[in-house]
Homo-oligomer: A and B are copies of this chain.
Amino acid sequence: MKGIHQLAKHLEISIGTVSRALNGRPDVSPETRRRVLEAAEQFGYVANQSGRSLRKGATNVVGLMIESSKESIDNSDNFFSGLTGGLQTVLTRHNLDLIMLPCPNDEDPLEYLKRMVARRLVDAMIISATQRVDPRIDLLIKAHIPFVALGRSTSGGSHIWIDLDFEGVAHSAVDRLVARGHRRIAITAPNSDINLGYVFVDAYRAALERHGLAFDPSLIIRAPSSESGGYQAASTLLTLEPRPSAIILIYEMMAIGLYQRLAEAGIIPGKDMAVIGFREAPRSKFLQPALTCYRLSLHDLGMELAETLLALMPEHAQTYGDHARNRIWPLELVPGKSDDFQQSS
């Protein structure tokens, strides 16, 4: 005999009463509850999740899908460990556990997600690194699984998402550079179909237009979102004629490789070339000169993400109902020295 039966037998009461006591039901005498709680603690009894889930039709687990094959994640500077902290702060309050579901590199993300959803391992889901066209969204909608997409997409439509304010960053960066006299401003863009690439490029274009600057497609430098990608991007940058006087990066780690490649060419960021990075990362502050970049609280973003997800879960909808909306997450400028370079035109 094991599990709840064993505990019930030891206490000489029924398993129903044990269950009720453990689950905080009101219809249990204080004395019985005390005995049950005490015995459970003593024996380290915790309800078997499978039995519980099967009966309740819910797992009390929220999944965060991670695609480690996506370089944007593989290299991201602990984006997820920041995020999970915030998520858990909120989820824990409701006895929900967070698990991370890493999609194997050699498995199709859609198939992986399909499998996870069908198995009912989790009650709700967060997906990230949304693609321009992302069938995962259609799948989750069809499966009626509560979910929030971290990142916009052209897929889906009525689903809920939270995304970083790429437009705000693009406009802020372009404004800053234009104010310093720059007119040939390059940007990097991911060479994948990740949606943020489109958003960023479009916003950059709009910002240029606002300043009456012509859009030159050759100034969009496609490169992997990694340190090496930054190195590659700098190499490309150096071949452009006439050479741009400024560059905006879309991804935090690129600055590291870019600085290196520029140094090799004898070009000093902030002196000979204006550089604006993307998200502020622990590494950023050790770049010389300090990188101008944008700050966001991953913990707060994680909390918001959790609250938004809860708003979509029937059981918690009333508490978090007002969070069930799309949201653009702001980033705050952190001025550095890397864009000090003034262009005399």
Cβ 8 A contact of A114, one of B44, B92, B106, B286:
B44
Report yes or no: A47 in contact with B102, Cβ–Cβ below 8 A: no
Additional A-B contact list (6), CB under 8 Å, known A74-B81, A256-B286: A48-B120, A50-B50, A51-B54, A99-B101, A99-B121, A257-B286
Q: Does A88 contact B (CB under 8 A)?
A: yes
Report yes or no: A283 in contact with B256, Cβ–Cβ below 8 A: yes
Cα distance A233–B118 in the bound complex, in angstroms: 50
Q: Does A34 contact B (CB under 8 A)?
A: no
Tell me which of A148-156, A223-231, A307-315, A321-329 binds B. A223-231
A259 to chain B: closest residue by CB: B286
Report yes or no: A120 in contact with B49, Cβ–Cβ below 8 A: yes
Q: How many copies does the complex hold?
A: 2
- Listed by A's residue number, 30 A-B pairs whose Cβ atoms lie within 8 Å are A44-B114, A44-B118, A45-B118, A46-B114, A46-B119, A49-B119, A49-B120, A49-B121, A50-B50, A50-B53, A51-B54, A66-B100, A68-B81, A73-B81, A75-B78, A78-B78, A84-B102, A85-B105, A88-B102, A88-B104, A89-B104, A92-B104, A92-B107, A99-B99, A99-B100, A227-B282, A227-B285, A227-B286, A231-B286, A260-B288
Report yes or no: A75 in contact with B44, Cβ–Cβ below 8 A: no
Q: Does A213 contact B (CB under 8 A)?
A: no
Q: Does A59 contact B (CB under 8 A)?
A: yes
Q: Does A98 contact B (CB under 8 A)?
A: yes
A231 to chain B, nearest CB (A): 7
Report yes or no: B102 in contact with A81, Cβ–Cβ below 8 A: yes
Q: Does A20 contact B (CB under 8 A)?
A: no
Contacts of A104 in B (CB 8 A): 85, 88-89, 92
Q: Does A115 contact B (CB under 8 A)?
A: yes
A76 to chain B: closest residue by CB: B78
Contacts of A92 in B (CB 8 A): 104, 107
